[in-house]
Amino acid sequence: MNQDVIITCAVTGAGDTVGKSPHVPVTPAQIARAAIDAAKAGAAIVHIHVRDPMTGKGGRDPAHFREVVERIRKSGTDVVLNLTAGMGGQLQLNDVDPMKRGPETDLVSSEIRFRHVEDLRPEICTIDCGSMNFGEDTVVVNRPADLRWMAKRARELGVKPELEVFDMGQMVNALNLCKEGLIDDPPMFQICLGIAGGAPATSESMLALRNMMPGNAHWAAFGISRAEFPMLAQAVLFGGHVRVGLEDNLYLGKGQLATNAQLVEKAVRLVRELGARVVGPEETRRKLKLRNHA
């Protein structure tokens, strides 16, 4: 069991959730406010995506990331910033002619996907450690060459990669980055469970992925939707850290839409009920050996 638990809040994501809850933040100002509220509720880390303010769809505009980060930093709120580098890998295929790309395709180079990380130098950025099916007609593309480029560049920038793994094959890719010396110790993993096309949100999946990691690794796990809090408890009991937030789950309880801060508050209560302690941002920086560029 982990006695000292880091809570991450993933405040908005890129999924089609805006029309499902009024609490999903869309504009940079809303995303920053949600991150600040989550930090005040007990999250040591906030995981940031941005959205198109006009459509609500997931985006990767560096100007939107900059506004979110500047608003959080100017607020004086002490929280570790974790910016996604996952956008820009989406390939939608035409049902009739798979050689044609669908309108939801957003497939760009690793360099373009990493521009906001280059510009803002957060303490953490996420690297999705493999390709996978997403929905009926879309593939998220993360080639080993892309992973190596992003891991190497993150190390040069002094940004800690959070290695997001959705199945055992992706864990192998992440471990290869470690073996090749592209990830500084201690490595940091995020086990992502319950996403269609990836590993299911079960204790067996979490344990199998945990057991593949090196002994010096820090890791967290989450399950989506109704699996969020059961997987939170399981992660603590298996020795990991946890993640909650509206990227993964919209509900506090059955039929009760949540805010990010409410999800964090519930996570804090559960961690403490399990007999563990919630770790703050400064201790998180020491544990993960982060560099604060603010």
Radius of gyration of the chain (CA): 18
Q: Look up the pTM and report it.
A: 0.96
What is the pLDDT at residue 293? 66
What is the pLDDT at residue 294? 64
What is the pLDDT at residue 6? 98
For the chain, the maximum distance between any two Cα atoms, rounded to a whole number of angstroms, is 55
Secondary structure (DSSP) of 203-253:
HHHHHHHHTTS-TT-EEEEEE-GGGHHHHHHHHHHTT-EEEESTTT--EEE
Q: Where are the domains of the chain?
A: 7-288
Q: Could you list the mean pLDDT of each consecutive 10-residue stretch along the chain, which spans 294 residues?
A: 97 94 98 98 98 95 98 97 96 84 92 97 97 89 97 97 98 98 97 95 98 97 97 98 98 96 98 98 97 73
CATH superfamily placement of domain 7-288? Aldolase class I (3.20.20.70)
